[in-house]
């Protein structure tokens, strides 16, 4: 730590962290206040400046100049999933990690990867501390809680893009798959196989907008086929095998006839297969199952899982290009990517 002589003794030079502590704000807020950012209220700015004057704080010109230089690095923040079985991360994001890394390298950028907890202060780090020029966010659990953090990122001018549902009026920009169409196509496939009592396993609410879009696609396909949507054939579940297993068990305990299942994710579908097989229900002879994501485990399940594939290679490229446009202050918009149905042995015609 640099020191300066005061009345014959050495005293530590004040830092922006000292100002933050005494002013009762974060260090990034101090930085924004000192450079006159409009993101800081006038009252907060005056408080920060008063503390800075009291501490005889002076701005390091060289460091200040460095702050406006780009790091040539993007940060990929993968959020811990609040699951009951400690899985913490959806394996779908492993494929996304590879595609984002490759896209960054092709564009001459380094990638900083960090595993985050939702309770942390990630919304105040990275770009403000100049560790990265922009953020790519994967995974968010309960969207209604997460949305507040996104609003704060927008308020402080952070360059970021989110992988998730593409919705009107949401904070920031999202890149995501056409969840509605993907689930619609999957349900239509089961209907063509002669399945009529088709269930949906996955939480169908605005708290999980991607799952909700998949549920909406499922219900549209049933309605077009003249089939009444039965609420008893929908069971909430988040993305773990354990939750899929439990949801399928609850579905069977309700006693409703079931000959097909649309699962909101592959992990839910794989868990459901285990539950059905445990009760000696043949898949796909008695019940056909379709998942969503096309994770590597789908080819290893027994039987191999029919699923809706998301284009992770294209997703990585679009995510990186979108956040770089934000970094360069160029026009950018959210984008919805097409899905495709991958048919494997977990689907069969009625009585097959």
Residue 348 inside a domain? The answer is: no
Q: Report the pLDDT value the prediction gives residue 322, as an integer from 0 to 100.
A: 95
The domain boundary residue, chosen from 45, 67, 89: 67
Q: Give yes or no: residues 170 and 199 share one domain.
A: no
Determine if the pTM surpasses 0.95: no
Q: Out of 5-19, 36-50, 227-241, 304-318, which region has the weakest mean confidence (pLDDT)?
A: 5-19
Asked whether residue 345 is domain-assigned, the answer is: no
| Region of 19 on the Ramachandran plot (φ > 0 left; ψ -120 to 50 alpha; else beta) | alpha
Look at residue 253 in the predicted model and tell me its pLDDT.
Answer: 96
Within the chain, where are the H helices? 16-23, 27-34, 42-54, 61-67, 92-106, 143-155, 179-192, 209-224, 241-253, 266-278, 312-327
What six digits make up the tokens of 282?
């043949």
189 and 301 in a single domain? The answer is: yes
Looking at the fold, whether 220 and 253 belong to one and the same domain comes out as yes
Shared domain check, 190 and 295: yes
Domain co-membership, 184 together with 262: yes
| Same domain, yes or no: 120 and 161 | yes
Please state, rounded to an integer, the average pLDDT across all residues of the chain.
84
User: Mean pLDDT, to the nearest integer, of 125-140?
Assistant: 75
Q: Give yes or no: residues 185 and 300 share one domain.
A: yes
Residues 184 and 300 in one domain: yes
Do 321 and 172 belong to one domain? yes
Of 157 and 196, the structure prediction assigns the larger pLDDT to 196
Q: Find the domain containing 254 and state its range.
A: 179-309
Quick one: pLDDT band at residue 2, thresholds 50, 70, 90?
Answer: very low
Confirm whether 343 is domain-assigned: no
Domains contained in the chain, number: 3
CATH of the domain at 139: 3.40.50.2300
Domain-embedded: residue 97: yes
Residue 316: pLDDT band (50, 70, 90) is very high
Q: Is residue 203 part of a domain?
A: yes
Q: Does 146 have pLDDT greater than 50?
A: yes
pLDDT tens digits for 43-72? Answer: 888 888 898 888 888 765 445 444 445 678
């Amino acid at each position: 730590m640099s020191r300066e002589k005061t009345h014959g003794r050495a005293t530590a030079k004040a830092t922006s962290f000292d100002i933050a502590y005494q002013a009762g704000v974060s260090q990034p807020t101090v930085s924004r206040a000192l450079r006159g950012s409009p993101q800081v209220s006038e009252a907060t700015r005056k408080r920060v400046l008063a503390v800075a004057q009291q501490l005889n704080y002076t701005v390091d010109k060289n460091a200040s100049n460095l702050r406006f230089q780009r790091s040539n690095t993007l940060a990929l923040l993968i959020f811990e999933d609040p699951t009951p079985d400690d899985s913490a991360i959806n394996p779908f994001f492993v494929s996304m990690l590879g595609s984002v890394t490759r896209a960054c390298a092709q564009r001459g950028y380094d990638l900083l990867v960090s595993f985050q907890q939702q309770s942390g202060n990630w919304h105040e780090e990275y770009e403000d501390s100049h560790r990265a020029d922009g953020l790519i966010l994967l995974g968010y659990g309960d969207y209604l809680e997460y949305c507040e953090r996104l609003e704060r990122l927008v308020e402080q001018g952070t360059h970021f893009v989110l992988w998730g549902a593409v919705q009107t009026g949401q904070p920031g920009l999202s890149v995501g798959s056409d969840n509605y169409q993907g689930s619609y196509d999957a349900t239509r496939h089961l209907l063509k196989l002669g399945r009529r009592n088709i269930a949906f396993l996955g939480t169908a609410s605005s708290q999980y907008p991607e799952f909700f879009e998949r549920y909406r696609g499922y219900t549209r396909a049933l309605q077009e086929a003249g089939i009444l949507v039965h609420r008893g054939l929908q069971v909430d579940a988040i993305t773990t095998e354990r939750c899929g297993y439990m949801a399928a068990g609850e579905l069977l305990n309700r006693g409703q006839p079931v000959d097909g299942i649309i699962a909101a994710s592959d992990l839910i579908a794989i868990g459901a297969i285990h539950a059905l097989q445990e009760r000696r229900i043949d898949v796909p002879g008695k019940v056909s199952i379709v998942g969503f994501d096309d994770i590597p485990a789908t080819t290893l399940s027994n039987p191999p899982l029919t699923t809706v594939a998301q284009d992770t290679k294209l997703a990585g490229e679009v995510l990186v290009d979108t956040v770089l446009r934000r970094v360069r202050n160029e026009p950018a918009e959210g984008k919805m990517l097409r899905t495709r149905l991958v048919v494997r042995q977990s689907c069969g015609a009625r009585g097959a």
